[in-house]
Chains A and B, each alone.
Chain A
Amino acid sequence: KAGVTQTPRYLIKTRGQQVTLSCSPISGHRSVSWYQQTPGQGLQFLFEYFSETQRNKGNFPGRFSGRQFSNSRSEMNVSTLELGDSALYLCASSSDGLALRYEQYFGPGTRLTVT
């Protein structure tokens, strides 16, 4: 069974631009969560989607948004990029339910650099 895939793997953007990251979950998984990882703040929860609905959201500004499609694939968007948005963005999928109650499978992440 193929794992979680994320595209692109690396991205360089300029301040003020916007970016869209993509995540394809493991086949059959309906829950997708997004996390931001930085050396200073560690792993921080962004949001969780289940069956195309955002169920939970972390403490991030409205510039961070996401969506999930009917095939469970998910995208996250960051608008008006700031230097502090430079991070590894990780996507994780799980078979069902809330992210915490089921084993999450993480993708390799997208490394975003904002200059």
Chain B
Amino acid sequence: LAKTTQPISMDSYEGQEVNITCSHNNIATNDYITWYQQFPSQGPRFIIQGYKTKVTNEVASLFIPADRKSSTLSLPRVSLSDTAVYYCLVGSSGAGSYQLTFGKGTKLSVIP
């Protein structure tokens, strides 16, 4: 089964770029790596998804190296509203079943 590691917390000032890295091993070779954002008392919300190299959408970029043993979520010019917990999500095969594994989450605090 996959194992994931994320920093527990990060602080950033408004307007800065924030990079959050998730290390993951034993992930499925043919599946996407996905990142979610969660605010208190809400379910997670999809941010971005990628398979390899770099993916960019209107809110974030995702960098995945060729070995796919990590992925880095990049949030450009964060604002106070980006204060949330960020999770990576990967898939793996094991114990006779396909498993989805979330990282433990990185609590991002944006400081004015």
Contact = CB atoms under 8 A, between A and B. Distances in A.
Given A43-B87, A56-B100, A100 B34 contact: yes
Interface string B64-99: 000000000000000000000001011100010111
A45 B102 contact: yes
Contacts of B49: 103
Contacts of B34: 100, 103-104
B104 A42 contact: yes
Contacts of B87: 42-43
A92 B43 contact: yes
Nearest to A44: B102
Interface residues of A, number: 26
A107 interface: yes
Given A90-B43, A106-B43, A106-B44, A58 B100 contact: yes
B101 interface: yes
B102 A56 contact: no
Interface residues of B, number: 27
A10 to B, nearest CB: 11
Contacts of B95: 59
25 contacts: A33-B100, A42-B105, A43-B44, A43-B105, A44-B102, A45-B102, A57-B97, A58-B97, A58-B99, A59-B95, A92-B43, A98-B91, A99-B100, A100-B28, A100-B31, A100-B89, A100-B91, A101-B31, A103-B34, A103-B46, A104-B36, A106-B43, A108-B41, A108-B42, A109-B43
Q: Which 9 A-B pairs have the closest CB atoms?
A: A106-B43, A43-B102, A45-B100, A100-B91, A103-B46, A56-B98, A42-B104, A106-B44, A100-B31
Interface of A: 4, 33, 35, 42-45, 48, 55-59, 90, 92, 98-101, 103-109
